[in-house]
Structure 1
Amino acid sequence: MTNSTSRRALAFVVAAAAVMSLAACGGSSSAKDDKTIEFWDPYPQKTADSSWQAFVEKCAPDGYTVKRVGYAQSDLLNNLTTAVKANNAPEIALIDNPKMPTAVDAGLVTDIKAAGVDVSGYDENIEGPGIVDGVQYGVSYGSNALGLYYNPTVLQKAGVDPASITDWDSLNAAIEKVVNAGFKGITFAGISGEEGTFQFLPWFWGAGGKLADASGSTAEQDALDLVSGWVQKGWAPKSVATDNQSAAWDLFLTGEYGFSENGSWQAESAAQEGYEMIPIPGKDGGVAPVPTGGEFITIPTQKNMSDEKLAATVKVIECLVDGDNLKSLNDEMVYLAAKSDVRAEQVKENEVWKPWVKIVESASGRTTDVGLKYEDISAQLSEDLQAALNKA
């Protein structure tokens, strides 16, 4: 990592200053309302009259107000970088899963455990991206995941038993039967950028791929051959090269396709249509690991935060993830909680979550093993995917 040691040293010093409330003179933060806790999230679609807004504001401690600001996912980190440099950062920021090492490396976030947040009891695989060099910089309250949806009506007419799909060969055989029966095969998102990489990773990991040795590996080539082969054969639409996950799902909702790789956030929509889901199969069998999704709650770097303000900030975070609120938070985001007992409650309340539990529990953090290097790895995988899909 470029300058990672010095940057993390700076982040540690600033975090210690925040936790120990070492006084600093001047700075723009002196102009901030000391009784307002600013809260940034990447959910601009959740408006001021949304249930999310009410949920966040309700967590304000006595005597404090929570001011929520929603930024587009692509803008939040840039705005946070500017705010930290100006010593005008929010007290809380929700950062996208794969961006955590970037935020840590830039000194934008602090040691959340040292700040006093209880980080015990969470699933290690979900929390992995928020832990850098053994220090936990954020708390992930839950995760979404990817699965292989199917249309039971289409499969029945094509003579396909979904239970027979256990590896890539049997999946290809099933798609071929669907197409031969007069239907369309499979939709997925191959769009350039992280969203396309996100959907490509289960196939890459399912072929035994390792992110540390991704581009040019046998696993990458096998996965590229698989998904581009679907396009070459006409089993997947040529639009996959530009389709995001919403566009891929819209195609599946036409009822013309047998399969769609998509996320757990579509579970309710799928249930309404009578669609079902199986885990994405590995190349030679078993369940392919999928990437964890979701965001991390973080405490951005502050040069001068009082003990009282820090304690109030911690109370807001713990309110969001404490007890029944953790379930409410994940229900709001359509995620599966990062604690097994809360997931069990979600399943008890809504059976649609049942097949997703094992997928989430075996999911992998994209940056857990490779840290900041993931940015370049993801970009190269995306480039290779685009080349394969556009050549198909």
Structure 2
Amino acid sequence: MPPRPRTAAALTAAALALTSVLTGCGGSGGDAGPAQNVDADQLKGTVTVWSWDVAATALQRLATDFHALHPEVTVEVVDVGYDNAEQKLSVGLKSGSGLPDLVTVETQQMQSYLGKFPKGFVDLTEAAAGYKPDMDPSKWAASSDPDGRLAALPWDSGTAGLFYRTDLFTQAGVDAAAIETWDDLIAAGTKVKDATGAKLLASDVSGGVGLVPMLMQQQGAGYFTPDGKVALDSPAALAALEIVRRLNDAGLIHNEAGWDALVRANKDGKVAAEATGVWWSGTLTTEMPELGGKFGVMPLPAVTPGGIRTASNGGSGLAIPAQAENPDAAWAFAKFALADAANQTSMMKNEGLFPAYLPALADPYFAQPQEYFGGQEIYRLFTEQTAQIPAVTYTDDNAAATEAMKAVVSGVVLNGKDPATELAAAAGQLADTTGRERA
């Protein structure tokens, strides 16, 4: 699922609420034990699931199919709303009560929960071991703790690519197939802007991290090293920040904050491209049907020639709280929904959720021409890229690292500060406040 942008005020409020919840906590326990692969005839009772938006819609639809196979089990899906989900889950983990049998967790949030509540979720490691080779490796890593214990079964991947306006590129005489690096894209974007007046892409560089995490992941790097050291000032971070600075200096960034502004900028033709997750295809087709036939997709440009041309932006998984009352049936439903090729494909067709379960990508649907994209087989492209997404390390201090990077991006891109100096200062401050070593 797409990561949902929030206003600065909402982010501040959420951070304060989460801080008050987490202060002094060591993780809520439970007695559900590790997940068990239980025979179908032993499954009974009710499974309550928390989710939101199209994810809740997908689970509600699949719940009917699951009940048909397991008449003794009823799955009740509760749409808790995106804005409430994080705080409700945090409060339940802290108090040790009030949580359902199964919860949807955003990929980028999982490590924060695992750090604060190490006993808060059922251990899926052994029960899910057979699925590991068939899952998006970046999502599996992000859903596991530092010891390799799996806490959430990966659901959807936010495999990233570059969506671009074919009409604007053609008007500017730009050959999209010739774009291989971000250097190439900056040159192409300048031609598009000169010819059409459209900037290259929309990004929040006033109060967000913008493209930086995605550009870092393309280089196999995150805010932390695999052993948890602060890597905010890595060469990959410097290279990513430099690209964003160059994009802005060239006048190619439409600086907007929030989801509605992002959609509006694309809908109104103020920008000619968007570097983002595969879920953007659903936004285009539903929010901008009038632009059908005017979009194409290519792999992300590489940071350096021959470099990786994909990353991840968004996605989620299903986790079983340790306090779950019906963990066996919850695990059975999670497997049914997420480790089944037909069900994962149905969620792509109906709800636009791109599977993290790689066998689903063999379905003919993912090779079909898409009319909206001029007949391009865009899902074939994303299928090829998903298994190549570099895995990066998230920690329970990821939120703090993100806040630190926001300040760096704003200072460097908008105020002309030296990127190496700002990154080094931010890394030092993050290390001091978290007690982590610097890489």
Q: TM-score range by the shorter chain?
A: 0.7 to 0.9
Partner of 1:31: none
Taking the aligned partners of 2:48 and 2:221, their CA distance within structure 1 comes to: 41
Aligned length: 359
**Any conservation in 1 of the 2:111–2:394 contact (CA below 8 Å)?**
no
**CA distance 1:150–1:377, change in 2 (3 Å):** same
Give CA-to-partner distance per residue, 1:253-280, whole Å, 9 cap, x none. Answer: 3235332223311225268242111122
1:64 Cα deviation (Å)? 2.9
Report the 3-state secondary structure (helix = DSSP H, G, I; strand = E; otherwise coil) of the residue aligned with 2:78: strand
**Matched residue type, 1:311:** D
Taking the aligned partners of 2:163 and 2:206, their CA distance within structure 1 comes to: 22
Partner of 1:38: 48
Structure 1 counterpart of 2:72, from 56, 60, 63: 63
Structure 2 counterpart of 1:283, from 303, 318, 330: 303
**Any conservation in 2 of the 1:179–1:185 contact (CA below 8 Å)?**
yes
Taking the aligned partners of 2:341 and 2:164, their CA distance within structure 1 comes to: 35
**Matched residue type, 1:326:** Q
| Alignment TM-score, normalising by the size of structure 2 | 0.71
Taking the aligned partners of 1:330 and 1:248, their CA distance within structure 2 comes to: 23
2:232 is aligned with 1:233? no
Partner of 2:408: 384
**Matched residue type, 2:215:** W
**CA distance 1:224–1:134, change in 2 (3 Å):** closer
- Listed as ranges, the matches of 1:95-244 within 5 Å are 95-105=105-115, 106=117, 107-114=119-126, 119-120=131-132, 121-132=134-145, 133-190=147-204, 196-197=208-209, 199-206=211-218, 209-212=221-224, 213-237=230-254, 239-240=255-256, 242-244=257-259
Taking the aligned partners of 1:353 and 1:228, their CA distance within structure 2 comes to: 31
Taking the aligned partners of 1:18 and 1:155, their CA distance within structure 2 comes to: 51
1:91 Cα deviation (Å)? 0.5
**Any conservation in 1 of the 2:222–2:394 contact (CA below 8 Å)?**
no
**CA distance 1:318–1:227, change in 2 (3 Å):** same
2:274 is aligned with 1:274? no
Partner of 1:251: 265
1:19 Cα deviation (Å)? 6.2
1:325 Cα deviation (Å)? 1.3
Report the 3-state secondary structure (helix = DSSP H, G, I; strand = E; otherwise coil) of the residue aligned with 2:200: strand
Partner of 1:27: none
2:82 is aligned with 1:82? no
1:155 Cα deviation (Å)? 1.3
| Alignment TM-score, normalising by the size of structure 1 | 0.79
**CA distance 1:173–1:215, change in 2 (3 Å):** same
**Any conservation in 1 of the 2:162–2:300 contact (CA below 8 Å)?**
yes
Structure 2 runs not aligned, ≥5 long: 1-21, 38-43, 225-229, 286-290, 370-376, 417-439
Taking the aligned partners of 2:79 and 2:144, their CA distance within structure 1 comes to: 25
Report the 3-state secondary structure (helix = DSSP H, G, I; strand = E; otherwise coil) of the residue aligned with 1:294: strand
1:164 Cα deviation (Å)? 1.8
1:37 Cα deviation (Å)? 1.5
**CA distance 1:15–1:114, change in 2 (3 Å):** farther
Deviates more, 1:151-160 or 1:222-231: 222-231
**CA distance 1:332–1:383, change in 2 (3 Å):** farther
Taking the aligned partners of 1:185 and 1:115, their CA distance within structure 2 comes to: 49
2:68 is aligned with 1:73? no
1:38 Cα deviation (Å)? 1.0
1:15 Cα deviation (Å)? 4.3
2:389 is aligned with 1:369? no
Report the 3-state secondary structure (helix = DSSP H, G, I; strand = E; otherwise coil) of the residue aligned with 2:251: coil
Report the 3-state secondary structure (helix = DSSP H, G, I; strand = E; otherwise coil) of the residue aligned with 2:33: helix
Taking the aligned partners of 1:224 and 1:116, their CA distance within structure 2 comes to: 38
State the superposition RMSD in angstroms.
Answer: 3.3
